[in-house]
């Protein structure tokens, strides 16, 4: 950072969301929005220029790179800016890939403005800022590791929830159909169920997948 000034990049594919974030953040002393990006790819390229301290990153950008993938690309560089996820999604299938990718914070878009500004400053200082629901879920995951789905298991169940067959899921994820069945079998065991419908219902109730 330069002095106490925190330079921000807003990465979101919705102009109204970017405008709202800018309006909130630019009223805060010491925070300045220096750039915006409408795609994850643009966010990676802009963050690489070296004049950003914190990237506020959405998770979903439609076609192309996801916010988690962009986060991994950004944080892999030496001297990378911090990445604060700002999204509407808080399931394990969303939060875990983003945190594993290197995000230092995870906030929901309905957070109060003061929480957003505080999270930005925390991220800029190298700290971790998590939405309460996300923090609670991560703690529960640590307390009950036996029920936690792997990223791939969550992906498979999410596609099951979308109505895809095992063959379609295999094609989508570039896996064999046998591997898809293995992921489902492990998910059934972890969730204590014996069918696709029950697995989707249980995983949704536990916040492990998004429907």
pLDDT at 133: 77
CA angle 173, 208, 118 (to 5 degrees): 110
Is there a single domain that holds both residue 26 and residue 111? yes
Is there a single domain that holds both residue 131 and residue 181? no
Is there a single domain that holds both residue 98 and residue 13? yes
Residue-wise pLDDT tens digits, 190-200: 888 888 999 89
Is there a single domain that holds both residue 36 and residue 122? yes
Q: Is residue 176 part of a domain?
A: yes
The total of structural domains in the chain comes to 2
Is there a single domain that holds both residue 126 and residue 26? yes
Domain that holds residue 162: 146-205
Q: Is residue 198 part of a domain?
A: yes
pLDDT at 2: 45
Confidence of residue 131 (pLDDT cuts 50, 70, 90): confident
Q: Is residue 1 part of a domain?
A: no
Is there a single domain that holds both residue 118 and residue 19? yes
pLDDT at 98 over 90: no
Residue-wise pLDDT tens digits, 4-50: 799 999 999 999 999 999 999 999 999 999 999 999 999 999 999 99
Q: Is residue 210 part of a domain?
A: no
Q: Which of 141, 159, 192 is the last residue of a domain?
A: 141
Q: What CATH number is associated with residue 168?
A: 1.10.10.10
User: What is the C-alpha separation between 45 and 84, in angstroms, rounded?
Assistant: 17
Is there a single domain that holds both residue 42 and residue 95? yes
Is there a single domain that holds both residue 150 and residue 171? yes
Q: Which two tokens stand for residue 115?
A: 């929480």
Is there a single domain that holds both residue 22 and residue 86? yes
**pTM of the entire predicted model:** 0.69
pLDDT at 94: 80
Q: What CATH number is associated with residue 87?
A: 3.40.50.2300
pLDDT at 140: 65
Is there a single domain that holds both residue 63 and residue 102? yes
pLDDT at 99 over 80: yes
Q: Which of 124, 141, 158 is the last residue of a domain?
A: 141
Is there a single domain that holds both residue 62 and residue 28? yes
Is there a single domain that holds both residue 100 and residue 63? yes
Q: Please list the alpha-helical segments (H only) found in 82-131.
A: 92-100, 113-124
Q: Which long-range contacts (CB under 8 A, 24 or more apart) does 88-91 make?
A: 89/59, 89/60, 89/210, 90/131, 90/133, 90/134, 90/137, 90/207, 91/154, 91/207, 91/208, 91/209, 91/210
Q: Which of 141, 168, 190 is the last residue of a domain?
A: 141
């Amino acid at each position: 950072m330069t002095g106490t000034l925190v330079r921000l990049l807003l990465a979101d594919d919705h102009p109204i969301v970017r405008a709202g974030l800018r309006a909130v953040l630019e009223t805060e002393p010491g925070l300045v929005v220096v750039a915006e990006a409408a795609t994850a790819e643009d966010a990676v390229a802009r963050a690489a220029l070296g004049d950003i301290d914190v990237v506020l990153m959405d998770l979903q950008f439609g076609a192309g790179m996801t916010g988690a993938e962009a986060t991994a690309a950004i944080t892999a560089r030496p001297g990378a800016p911090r990445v604060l996820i700002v999204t509407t999604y808080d399931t394990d299938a969303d939060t875990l890939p983003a945190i594993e990718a290197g995000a230092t914070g995870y906030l929901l878009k309905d957070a109060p403005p003061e929480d957003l500004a505080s999270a930005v400053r925390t991220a800029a200082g190298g700290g971790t800022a998590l939405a309460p629901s996300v923090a609670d879920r991560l703690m529960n995951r640590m307390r009950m590791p036996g029920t936690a789905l792997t990223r791939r298991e969550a992906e498979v169940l999410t596609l099951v929830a979308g109505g895809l067959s095992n063959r379609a899921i295999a094609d989508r994820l570039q896996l064999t159909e046998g591997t898809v069945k293995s992921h489902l079998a492990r998910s059934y065991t972890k969730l204590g169920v014996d069918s696709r419908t029950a697995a989707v219902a249980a995983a949704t109730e536990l916040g492990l997948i998004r429907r």
